[in-house]
Amino acid sequence: MLNTVPPTRQEQPAPSRQAQVRKRLMTALLLVAPFTLVYLVFLIYPTLRVIQLSFTNADLLGAGTFTGLQNYIKLFHEPTFWTALLNTVYFILLTAVPNTLLGLGLAMLVLRLRRLRNLVLAAFFMPFVLPVSVVTNVWNWVLDSNFGLVNFVTGSNITWFQDPVWALPSVAFVTIWWTVGFNVLLFIAGLQSISAEIYEAAALDGASGWRLFWSITWPNLWPVTSLILLLQLIAQFKIFDQIYLLTQGGPFDKTLVLLLYSYREGFQQQHGGYASTIGVVLMVVILLVSAIQIRVLNRGDRA
């Protein structure tokens, strides 16, 4: 009887390194494809379309004809544009830094609490989750000149949202009340990330109070602070909802901001090309100011 040795099973050759790289690349492309498609359709294409329309005399729906830089020349010679730009900058000054400092102060106070910390934090954060329509309706009632709570308590008769002096500061106050809770949450996360051992070591060296804050708390919070300032800057440059619902740009354009100006020209005056020009200028201003701010904040971080 012949002894037969069963044929050995041949091992499959290991996939080549190139095949593995190709497989990983295809997997990565499949994962990012949905987001990339949404990004291209809803951000990149509209942005390019607005830039293209800014060089035309298009109305709200039509394609229009090419006019070169005529819209830009008209815009920079338009006094209303400079009014809207100055109002936007003024609104940023009224909100960005005060909102950041108030958020830091409230976060430090919340962390000092023990029993009611979560309740107080929820109270600060609750306005942030409210729709802007609810926020503006509440403050329209609170600051109403005839039967508002503020005028009733103080005995004044200021028309807060119709007064040329108080209108924009009033909208800024409402904006801070609405959004400060988000800053408080970010600052609390930053404060809790600072190791307690650093404070203990500084206390052993005799540091206390403001010395601890300026030497330990503030430098370690700088990344969070720079992020909040950047977010505030971008958000306030794009301010629209509160202005539209509370003042609609009045009185006498005292609260007219760039985005509301673009809305007026595009949807009310049917000047689609000119409104696109305002949008492009606003985008460029945001990019330039954000780049400058990031550069300055990065220098502060390295220092």
Q: In the numeric block, which tokens belong to residue 250?
A: 């009045």
Give the side-chain half-sphere CA count within 13 A for 1.
3
Cα angle 288, 284, 250 (rounded to 5 degrees) comes to 110
- Find all residues with CB under 8 Å of 151, minimum gap 6, and list them: 143, 144, 145, 157, 158
- Find all residues with CB under 8 Å of 39, minimum gap 6, and list them: none
Which pLDDT belongs to residue 239? 95
Digit-coded pLDDT (tens) for 153-175: 988 889 999 999 999 999 999 99
Whole-number average pLDDT of the chain: 89
Encoded amino acid at 238, one letter: K
Question: Torsion angle of alpha carbons 262, 265, 270, 273, nearest 10°?
Answer: -60
- Find all residues with CB under 8 Å of 210, minimum gap 6, and list them: none
CB 88 within 8 A of CB 162: no
Give the pLDDT band (50/70/90) at residue 12: low
* Residue 198: how many other CB atoms lie within 10 Å: 14
What pTM, to 2 d.p., does this model score? Answer: 0.87
Which pLDDT belongs to residue 49? 93
Q: In the numeric block, which tokens belong to residue 245?
A: 């619902």
Which pLDDT belongs to residue 208? 74
Structural domains of the chain ordered from first start: 70-302 (1.10.3720.10)
Give the side-chain half-sphere CA count within 13 A for 245.
18
Which pLDDT belongs to residue 59? 86
Which of 10-14, 17-21, 213-217 is modeled with the greatest confidence? 213-217
Say how far apart CA 270 and CA 99 lie, in whole Å.
36
Say how far apart CA 109 and CA 98 lie, in whole Å.
16
Is the peptide bond preceding residue 251 cis, with omega within 30 degrees of 0? yes
Say how far apart CA 66 and CA 69 lie, in whole Å.
9
Digit-coded pLDDT (tens) for 272-294: 999 999 999 999 999 998 898 88
Say how far apart CA 192 and CA 119 lie, in whole Å.
18
Which pLDDT belongs to residue 284? 95
Is the peptide bond preceding residue 13 cis, with omega within 30 degrees of 0? no
**How far is the CA of 9 from the CAs of 2, 5, 12, 14, 111, in angstroms?**
21, 12, 9, 15, 67
Say how far apart CA 231 and CA 149 lie, in whole Å.
32
Give the side-chain half-sphere CA count within 13 A for 41.
6
Digit-coded pLDDT (tens) for 91-108: 999 999 999 999 999 999
In this prediction, residues 44-49 reach a mean pLDDT of: 93
Tokens 């830091």, residue?
Answer: 104
